[in-house]
Structure 1
Amino acid sequence: MIKASFRGGYDADNSDASASVVVNTGGINLRASTTGDTFVNGPSLNGLTLSVENPGFFNVDYNVQKKDVRFQFMNTVRVNEKPLNLTYTHSLVEDRTALDGTLLLDSNHKVSANYGFESGNCKVKYTYMHGGVMTIEPCYDFAENSWDLAVSRRIYDGSVVRGSYHSSTRILGLDWKINSSTNGNIKLSASVNLAEEKKMPKFTAESIWDFEM
């Protein structure tokens, strides 16, 4: 049986839409993603990305417009009997390489880091889960010398509310993910740039549908 899912999103501030279709063919996912540029002034290859992925092992993305291939490989090693999840990413045309690592200390604590080889930029994030319903995630960016903070909480119906603040950009954000067995999964987002004189909120909406063929 082939399983598929559809994800659609709309950015109200930029009047831009995006969509992706994922088809699962027995462990291997085939994905096609588009942006609003794909359909502006008629169908085109702008904003089109084709992907082949084996979750937990590798992803291969091909940006049709840029003719760029991005490889991503995942692996897990043990550090003092703790699992360390590693992700290596490289883009051929953009010539960018990054390494991500997440060390799971226990069920409530983990430390993540991201390093960009070209820029030398490094970000470190600590994740703490409290009571199985609330997650607190402070993050430090060494390049920007700035802190980010995100707090999320799961509510009674399985939905998740998440607030975030980025000190380098002074952007305050709020996300609400609604899980529905009848209407699919919906994500509503709002953000405000506190550095702007006119602090106008920006809104986006995204929906995910799963179906079988």
Structure 2
Amino acid sequence: MGGYITVGMRSESGDVKSALFYTNHLQDFVLDDGLARGQSTFVSRRIDELASDEEYGSYPVAPFGCGLRFFDFKTKSLIDSQNFADPVGVEFDVMVSSLINDDGKFARIVPFVGGMTQWVRQGVGGVSQKKTKIDPVQSVDALWEALGFRGLPGKFDFATLDLKLPDWKVSIYKRDLSGTEVMRAHLRRLGVLTPADEGAWPEYIDLRKQEGSRWPF
């Protein structure tokens, strides 16, 4: 179950913009090899599209609903706070959709795959994460071989294919009160928040305070 989330960016030249997205849209970004190389074209276009969509619309640089994701192309900082999609992890369904459509997106992102995360059973009813790292490869077939699969893996063979983005600094914040406030301080330090943006934060922070009161541990 997902919901609305804010996605924002600052361009290489310093222009800032943001809009509401649905959490299902978040996986669109992990297949953009331009973003992996630090280019803002795709992110900028998607924000413009959603900003002009009646169902979504523009929104301040502040978390909404399910959280916030912000791409700062000026400092190559990716700031994320949500519980629905790994900002540097390609999920199985997204990978398969690209291969079925033969759109080339997954093939172009393969050189940035640095490994995978798998869920492993642990004891009775428990699970843990297992991470496997690989050296970069240049083709889909070579990727499966490097990860130890004989051809296309199945849906439950991995949780995510993990991207290695050496040019980016990725900061992931929990959606609790402390995580939200530290994320705001991070964005302030980058200099991307205007007074209008600041005015949109208190309502979201109040919700985090209420959640903290109900679930203190």
Greater share of residues in helix: 2
* TM-score above 0.5, yes or no: no
TM, length-normalised to structure 2: 0.28
TM, length-normalised to structure 1: 0.28
